[in-house]
Amino acid sequence: MKKAIGPKAMILPLPAALIVTGNFDHANIVTIAWISPLTSSPQTVGFSMGTRKHSYNLLKDTGTFTVNIPSAEIMKEVDFCGINSGAEYDKFVQTGFTKVKSNHIDSPMIKECPINMECKLVNEIQVGNTPLFLGEVLETYVDGDKLTETGHFDVSKINPLVYCTTVREYWTLGEKIGEAYQVGKQLK
Amino acid sequence: MKKAIGPKAMILPLPAALIVTGNFDHANIVTIAWISPLTSSPQTVGFSMGTRKHSYNLLKDTGTFTVNIPSAEIMKEVDFCGINSGAEYDKFVQTGFTKVKSNHIDSPMIKECPINMECKLVNEIQVGNTPLFLGEVLETYVDGDKLTETGHFDVSKINPLVYCTTVREYWTLGEKIGEAYQVGKQLK
């Protein structure tokens, strides 16, 4: 029996990405679950940031940002960056996160995150009263120790933090159960 | 040591949502991982659909769609809907999925998915050569047996299918490790 619960964008699961805006000396971190790839050529990501004024101003200043995918081990730090303002805290100091210089842009990456993307802001679209930011991915990095011996990504080593919206819970990943673009062929 | 792997929108994890377009008699299902909440008031979702022509035409015809969140149990059916065109297959027939009449729109929902959202298309934005569709959520449904005794959502019962992009793998969720908006308070 399906129960109506009112209009909720209950998309499960979501990532819990850390967006770094600003330059190396004046950088801020904000936690964003409303983020998705948008186009494949060029590789573009979009994220919705609401009224995060501090990050918004830094983002408009530099026109660049990094997307950092955290592991479940740093859940508390990720949550801290989501519930506090950069106007009040230097979140790098407060979390103990280490800034890593980017190669193509001024915004730094977070060393403690196993996946990092350098992005150039290419558009801002107003959706209702919320800005949607579009960024072209210029380069992506993965920690070398998260690769398998054959050079493939090992998701269990990356151990990404998972966010479940509506219930507001953090989860881990469980186990790999199938290859996409493959397992559905059995139904033909 | 961080290794550059070229520009990849490697956002982990992503949902594997089933979008139903068209009306009850002529409906199609497409699998979309590039989907996210975008605004909270009203509750709006956005998804990027690339060149899925069959779903695109149906979506433009009715101006409505449903978002259906699958459980890991129906991974093969989800994958089937992602790798085949509705021009070739009636995906409801091929997967055995059951159509459920929506209450506010003509597009049907999928009974076998534990979470369903009725959505009205409110905008289409061209991002590069890919359309981004914005839909207002009119109503959301959860299977009653996925609720706890106190009426809360039990994510382990919903058991959502997880998609890991770049590696192209399906995963399950593991375990709940923390309450969002709470665990980060310990760092202050």
Give per-residue pLDDT as tens, A139-173. 999 999 998 878 789 999 999 999 999 999 999 99
Choose the mutation target among A105, A134, A140 for the interface with B, i.e. most B CBs under 10 Å: A140
pLDDT at B8 over 90: yes
Letter for the amino acid at B56? Answer: Y
pTM for this entry: 0.96
Whether the CA torsion B22, B35, B67, B174 is positive or negative: it is: positive
Report pLDDT for A26: 95
Nearest beta carbon to residue B144 from set A1, A34, A177: A1
Q: Give the pLDDT band of residue B50 (cuts 50, 70, 90).
A: confident
Choose the mutation target among A43, A116, A162 for the interface with B, i.e. most B CBs under 10 Å: A162
Q: Are A94 and A103 in contact (CB under 8 A)?
A: no
Put simply, the answer to whether A38 touches B48 (Cβ < 8 Å) is: yes
The phi and psi torsions of A113 (rounded to 5 degrees) equal: -95, 130
Question: What is the average pLDDT value for chain B, to the nearest integer?
Answer: 95
Count other Cβ atoms within 10 Å, centred on residue B157.
14
Q: Are A35 and A11 in contact (CB under 8 A)?
A: no
Q: Are A61 and B147 in contact (CB under 8 A)?
A: no
Put simply, the answer to whether A37 touches B11 (Cβ < 8 Å) is: yes
Whether the CA torsion A24, A82, A63, A109 is positive or negative: it is: positive
Integer Cα distance of A18 and A13 in angstroms: 16
Q: Write the CA distances from B129 to A28, A30, B14, integer angstroms.
A: 32, 29, 22
Q: Are A91 and A84 in contact (CB under 8 A)?
A: yes
**Cα distance from A161 to chain B (closest Cα, Å)?**
8
Count other Cβ atoms within 10 Å, centred on residue A7.
18
Cis before A13? omega within 30? yes
Put simply, the answer to whether B100 touches A7 (Cβ < 8 Å) is: no
Q: Are A142 and B3 in contact (CB under 8 A)?
A: yes
Q: Are B112 and B98 in contact (CB under 8 A)?
A: yes
Q: Please report where in the chains the tokens 């061209």 appear, as a residue.
A: B126
pLDDT at B53 over 90: no
Put simply, the answer to whether B173 touches A13 (Cβ < 8 Å) is: yes
Integer Cα distance of B40 and B38 in angstroms: 7
Integer Cα distance of A183 and B79 in angstroms: 6
Give the pair of three-digit tokens for residue B117. Answer: 């959202």
Put simply, the answer to whether A1 touches B143 (Cβ < 8 Å) is: yes
Report pLDDT for A188: 75
Report pLDDT for A68: 98
Q: How far is CA B168 from the centre of its chain?
A: 16
Q: Which chain A residues touch B117 with a CB distance below 8 Å? A: 7-10
Which residue is closest to A51 within chain B, CA to CA? B39
pLDDT at B163 over 90: yes
Collapsed DSSP state (helix, strand, coil) of residue A23: coil
Residue A174: exposure state from Cβ atoms within 10 A (0-12, 13-18, ≥19): middle
Size of interface A-B (CB pairs under 8 A): 355
Q: At A31, which helix (H) or strand (E)?
A: strand A27-32
Burial B23-49 (b: 16+ CB within 10 A, else e): beeebbbbbbbbbbbbbeeebbbbbbb
In order, the DSSP letters of B43-60 are EEEEEE-TT-HHHHHHHH
Residue percentage of chain A with pLDDT more than 70: 100
Q: Are A166 and A84 in contact (CB under 8 A)?
A: no
**Cα distance from B22 to chain A (closest Cα, Å)?**
20
Q: Please report where in the chains the tokens 């899925």 appear, as a residue.
A: B52
A35: β partners: A47
Integer Cα distance of B93 and A121 in angstroms: 43
Q: Please report where in the chains the tokens 């919705």 appear, as a residue.
A: A48
**Tens digit of pLDDT for each residue in B102-150?**
999 999 999 999 999 999 999 999 988 899 999 999 999 999 999 887 8
Integer Cα distance of A42 and B147 in angstroms: 41
Whether residue A106 lies within 8 A of chain B, CB to CB, comes out as: no
